[in-house]
Amino acid sequence: MQGTQTVALGVFDHHHAGVGHVHTHLNDGGGHQCIQPPGLEILHDGGFFLGFQLAVHQPHPAVGQQRLGNVLVVGLDGVQPAVRHILDGGADQIHLPPFVDLAVQKAVQVLPPLAGDAPGLDRLNIEPATHNPKATEEIDGMIAMISTLIEKGYAYEKNGTVYFRTRKFKNYGQLSKKNLDDMRAGIRIAVSDEKEDAMDFVLWKPKKEGEPAWVSPWGEGRPGWHIECSCISMKYFGEDLDIHCGGIDNAFPHHTNEIAQSEAFLGHPWCRYWFHVHHLNTESGKMSKSKGEFLTVTLLEEKGYDPLVYRFFCLQSHYRRNLVFSYENLDNAAAAYGKLIARIAALDPEQPGPVDEEALSAWRARFEQAMDGDLNTSLAITALYDVLKSKANDATKLSALENFDQVLGLGLLEHGDRQRQADRKAAQEACDPEIDALIRQRAEAKRAKNWAEADRIRDVLNARGITIIDTPQGTKWS
């Protein structure tokens, strides 16, 4: 259905809102959510920035899995299919389409989020999902889909297990650029006699002691991981997806298998573009819960970090690059975010003068160009500083910042206003010696060539309504 654009997002743990999972979610478009590399969430908010409406489908944990089966699905209802491009390698290379071509016409009903799920996501400015299906309530649809694949000859049953015939699907491995023979040659473990081919994957597995099970034509059992995602996505978004997102480690085998079973079932191409976010690593390697490195939003808050500092940290990097997490890196992001907020707080929302629409349009064009560049959030953040450094009046600057923050979700105006009010209150309560002390600190910072600190103190004074003037005789204030 050409009129529908959908995004399927990567796996994350509902109960912990881990920083590694949030990193992915921040990029694919989950509104504004937990700790992962930038991508899905920015894609989602970027649609709203351009006046679009999006739907988000976020399933509960997969059957028999400790984590979610796959995925958030973000739907862009009524998308204009203006641009369908494949970059760098023909049909076997799938890339994210240009940001500005995600044009959505129709509004989508947004349902309330799951109660108590993923604590911390709202504090990261991540929007709730539109749909929250439970895999355990979709079993009938999965059984029907598997039955159709058997009827079409794409699947076969052996002793209660149903396998997908990978060799019958001619484009298997196209997404990950893997050849079936090469993959088979690389298998070192013994292959079950049940499988026709070593690369055949499970669609349905027999019941095991202690595991949940459902009645099926092949006996009691439960679905495989991959089939859940295809079935649920099709139920809520139809037969065509424009964008499917997830972590880079999902490209193979999970997304590769999703493509095979979905297109074999449908008889036509299923998803136009695949959007993969790279890992959040520690300095010792990939962050993982099994290594005891599962950091959460709550933990960061307990350590004194604003969750939006983590969001800012993520957006300074590109989603196609691994992001290295350390508290030193987070401290640097916190300092930069604090300085950014101080500069915004120094702007006067009551300053007279109209908004310069021409300047606003030019800034917006540069911001959109950054986002069109494969969601280059780092360059988009640079656009914020370009606005603040300009000679435009404060009304124009604040209008631009509000516009951009619809995508970035950094709480710029809210935090700026809060800081501005706090600074004004402090200025009213301050006595002359306190101001003189700040001016002395600024002078010391300038002598030490610590320009960032000198600028920060100046911005603090400005936010308090204090004007400082540097003269040959020293700094004066009023």
Q: Please give the sequence-ordered ranges of beta strands (E in DSSP) within 159-197, or none if there are none.
A: 161-164
C-alpha atoms less than 13 angstroms from C-alpha of 63 in its C-beta half-sphere: 27
- 70: CB partners within 8 A, 6+ apart: 8, 10, 11, 59, 62, 225, 226, 228, 229, 246, 250, 254, 258
- Residue 85 CA to residue 56 CA, distance in Å, equals 24
- Residue 132 CA to residue 72 CA, distance in Å, equals 9
DSSP calls for 322-371: -EE--HHHHHHHHHHHHHHHHHHHTS-TT--S---HHHHHHHHHHHHHHH
One digit per residue, pLDDT tens: the chain, 478 residues? 333 333 333 323 333 344 554 455 555 544 322 233 334 555 655 544 444 444 445 554 444 432 222 222 232 222 222 222 222 222 222 232 323 222 222 112 222 222 234 556 778 887 776 777 888 899 999 999 999 999 999 999 999 999 999 999 999 999 988 877 766 655 554 555 689 999 999 999 999 988 889 999 999 999 998 999 899 889 988 898 877 888 888 899 999 999 999 999 999 999 888 888 888 887 776 665 555 556 788 888 889 999 999 999 999 988 888 888 899 999 999 999 999 999 999 999 988 789 999 999 999 999 999 988 888 999 999 999 999 999 999 999 999 999 999 889 999 999 999 999 888 777 666 556 777 788 888 888 888 889 888 889 888 888 877 877 777 667 767 6
- 17: CB partners within 8 A, 6+ apart: 33, 34, 35, 118, 119, 120, 121, 296, 297, 298
| Other beta carbons less than 10 A from residue 183's beta carbon | 18
Burial of 450 (0-12, 13-18, 19+ CB in 10 A): middle
Residue type, 246: G
Burial of 446 (0-12, 13-18, 19+ CB in 10 A): middle
What's the pLDDT at 45? 54
Residues in the chain: 478
* Cα 156 → chain centroid: 37
- 322: CB partners within 8 A, 6+ apart: 37, 278, 279, 280, 281
DSSP category for residue 131: B
| Sign of the dihedral defined by the CA atoms of residues 83, 3, 272, 20, in that order | positive
What's the pLDDT at 412? 96
3-state class of 459 per DSSP? helix
What's the pLDDT at 187? 57
Asked if 241 and 268 count as a contact pair (C-beta separation under 8 A), the reply is no
